[in-house]
């Protein structure tokens, strides 16, 4: 048979069903959920692709979000895209995102909707107005218990509870990368078909890579151990730096080529900038599935139990050997 044609037929929803080797209700749910995430990705990609041509797409809204960060128009648009898309799914009762202080309930889906979506609608917002790569990050959890008080306290559990996680990368092409705990898979949006098509299955990260990815502008705000690590990298042959301002693109490069991405605590943000539940944990889930690692420096990210929905965490993520190298400096400093 025609290999290219075979490949073109492996759409995302079909792939989920194949992975689960089942067409049972749980598999159908996950497949439908992934299909919805793909739709959100397509809507956001469509808006990005014409952003400069349309009014009211770029720039700030003038508001400040729960995190104290200025909100961009695209942050709001993308946040609402996910809500609208999941309103119609029936499967999700709650959504929690970077842009909303409290979880958003979809009363018409509760209590039947058994899943919760955690997401960062736009990762790397500062790239929005300059036409550089951006992402969306998502994580799906099964709702545990009834959530009678509307506090969503069952979400405050470790990252191993994630059923599925992944990201959408809005780059020269739009990609969707996901895992349901059975390896990591790359899909590329074919705009002429309007479908995400499987382009690489069971991606494995190299055990070591040349790239270190960190905002060195924060150098004097880090703990000394991190400075020592960077000094080591500077004096050792074979390292090179890349930092895009959008973690999704940096992590994507890291998955493909190996290396390490870091966002340590700073003086201003002692726990770093990244949020555990909808940024670090989903990416850690992918990284472990690809044979890499993710840690706070002392604890595996997937073992951290958050106390709050928007809790931040330091993040060191990437190739096994490179993460271990950073850890060795952190341990020396303790």
Binding residues for substrate: 123-126, 215, 243, 273
Q: How far is the CB of 167 from Mg ion (least distance, A)?
A: 11
246 lines the binding site for ligand AHM (CB under 6 A): yes
Cα 164 from chain centre: 11
245 lines the binding site for ligand AHM (CB under 6 A): yes
What DSSP string describes 151-180?
--GGGSS-GGGEEEEEEEEESSSEEEEEES
Q: Which residues belong to the annotated binding site for Mg(2+)?
A: 98, 120, 122-123, 279
Among residues 41, 113, 124, 265, which is the contact residue for ligand AHM, using CB under 6 A? 124
Beta strands in the chain (DSSP E): 60-64, 70-72, 92-97, 104-105, 115-123, 134-142, 162-170, 174-179, 185-190, 195-200, 211-213, 240-241, 260-263, 293-295, 315-318
- Whole-angstrom Cα distance, residue 144 to residue 166? 21
120 lines the binding site for Mg ion (CB under 5 A): yes
Nearest partner of 284 among 199, 206, 168, 167, judged by Cα = 167
Stretch that binds Mg ion, among 40-48, 50-58, 115-123, 157-165 (CB under 5 A): 115-123
Q: How far is the CB of 314 from Mg ion (least distance, A)?
A: 15
Nearest partner of 29 among 88, 94, 147, 114, judged by Cα = 114
Stretch that binds Mg ion, among 69-77, 99-107, 123-131, 292-300 (CB under 5 A): 123-131
| Residue nearer to ligand AHM on the CB measure, 13 or 125 | 125
247 lines the binding site for ligand AHM (CB under 6 A): yes
99 lines the binding site for Mg ion (CB under 5 A): no
Neighbours of 215 (CB within 10 A): 15
44 lines the binding site for ligand AHM (CB under 6 A): no
123 lines the binding site for ligand AHM (CB under 6 A): yes
Residue 302's φ and ψ, nearest 5 degrees, are -70, -10
120 lines the binding site for ligand AHM (CB under 6 A): yes
Residues that bind ligand AHM (CB under 6 A): 69, 98, 120, 123-125, 215, 245-247, 273
């Amino acid at each position: 048979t025609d290999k290219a044609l075979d490949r073109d037929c492996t759409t995302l929803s079909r792939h989920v069903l194949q992975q689960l080797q089942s067409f049972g209700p749980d598999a159908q749910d996950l497949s439908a959920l992934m299909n919805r995430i793909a739709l959100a990705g397509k809507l956001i990609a469509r808006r990005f692709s014409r952003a400069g041509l349309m009014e009211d797409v770029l720039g700030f809204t003038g508001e400040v979000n729960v995190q104290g960060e200025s909100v961009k128009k695209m942050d709001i648009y993308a946040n609402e895209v996910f809500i609208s898309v999941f309103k119609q799914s029936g499967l999700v009762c709650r959504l929690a995102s970077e842009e909303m202080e409290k979880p958003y309930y979809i009363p018409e889906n509760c209590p039947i909707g058994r899943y919760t979506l955690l997401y960062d609608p736009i990762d790397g917002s500062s790239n929005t107005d300059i036409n550089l790569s951006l992402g969306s990050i998502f994580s799906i959890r099964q709702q545990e218990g009834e959530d009678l008080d509307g506090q969503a306290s069952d979400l405050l559990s470790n990252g191993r509870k994630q059923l599925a996680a992944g990201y959408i990368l809005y780059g020269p092409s739009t990609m969707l990368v996901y895992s349901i705990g059975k390896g990591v898979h790359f899909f590329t949006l074919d705009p002429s078909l309007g479908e995400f098509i499987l382009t690489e299955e069971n991606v494995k990260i190299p055990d070591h890579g040349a790239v270190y990815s960190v905002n060195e502008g924060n150098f004097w705000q880090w703990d000394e151990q991190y400075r020592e690590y960077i000094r080591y990298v500077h004096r050792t042959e074979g390292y090179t730096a890349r930092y895009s301002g959008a973690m999704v693109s940096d992590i994507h490069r890291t998955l493909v080529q190996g290396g390490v991405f870091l966002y340590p605590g700073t003086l201003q943000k002692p726990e770093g900038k990244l949020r555990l539940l909808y940024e670090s944990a989903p990416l850690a889930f992918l990284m472990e599935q690809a044979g890499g690692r993710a840690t706070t420096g002392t604890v595996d990210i997937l073992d951290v139990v958050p106390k709050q929905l928007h809790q931040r965490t330091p993040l060191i993520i990437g190739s096994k050997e490179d993460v271990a190298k950073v850890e060795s400096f952190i341990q020396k400093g303790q």
